[in-house]
Chain A
């Protein structure tokens, strides 16, 4: 009993020390900038930028392969923070700050072809053939893949409607600078 405890503990401890030393010896320098940029990005790994996750996007931005405007859901605020971290001066006035968007199917145009439902990466579009389709707003990431697929041009991205649950007061720091999504107008 005692031998088993002491033996396994010694073995585990020995291997731990060995791995600790090996980790120090074989340490690979990675750029601290990538980590800092990743912290600025939203961290939702939604994939709208085309990179597999925020970490990959941060690496691309750090290398200069992607612009600071890489993050669509992050909008102007994230682009500004990224540019500041990289000491770049970028004209962000052309970048519309739309806030989070979801797809919306126009019922009057939808022909029920299910093409958009098959294209959707998150299975957020529901509906059977020859039935009007709908979008599950909680599942939609606003990637816009369905917009180009629709043969009837019946899908558009819309700002998420503000409800009593999602509305918030403008933050004191940037009062007026960045109104909440939907310009604070309650629709429900």
Chain B
């Protein structure tokens, strides 16, 4: 139990997928203008990531390893991720049309979110079991959601504050992202102890 808790804590804070591993930066900058849409994007990515890591583990151990087809891993994973994203898109369109409108183009772009493929591949690399894989995917996605919401909150305040003209808009966002990333690097010290 402690092991699983540590795994989740480690993926959310210490090995944060966005700010420490620098995966999935496109939605991180693209959909972080408002807290609501950032939260929606985080939820959608959480759904996709958790499902795709589970499917990825099942495929790796049920299909790729028995048939000795490790060279098809990336292709298979992308196929599964694309299908899961399509499914998520249908679900969101059915459940919340307003969220569907807000997320817009970024919803199908979860397919190309490298965090999703990256986490699925890291799972295989680190030889995780099924429960570990799902928890690793869920933890990464939770970390992604946490960072999205934090960054969106910061950007909402940035939009209201006096920023020097040369730094206005995107530059100050990038600087903020850098500072946030440095703050998250600090959690590495937590792991050392």
Contact = CB atoms under 8 A, between A and B. Distances in A.
Given A4-B72, A19-B87, 12 more contacts: A4-B67, A7-B63, A7-B72, A8-B76, A11-B76, A12-B79, A18-B87, A22-B87, A26-B93, A28-B93, A28-B94, A28-B97
Interface of B: 59, 63, 67, 69, 72, 75-76, 79-80, 83, 86-87, 90-91, 93-94, 97
A4 B69 contact: yes
A4 B73 CA distance: 11
B81 to A, nearest CB: 11
Interface of B (DSSP majority class): helix
Contacts of A12: 79
B68 to A, nearest CB: 8
Nearest to A18: B83
Contacts of B72: 4, 7-8
B67 A15 contact: no
Interface of A: 3-4, 7-8, 11-12, 15, 18-19, 22-23, 26, 28
Contacts of B63: 7, 11
Nearest to B67: A3
A19 B69 contact: no
Contacts of B80: 11, 15
Contacts of A19: 83, 86-87
A77 to B, nearest CB: 31
Contacts of A4: 67, 69, 72
Contacts of A18: 83, 87
B79 A11 contact: yes
Contacts of B69: 3-4, 7
B83 A15 contact: yes
12 contacts: A7-B69, A7-B72, A8-B72, A11-B63, A11-B79, A12-B79, A15-B79, A18-B87, A19-B87, A22-B90, A28-B93, A28-B97
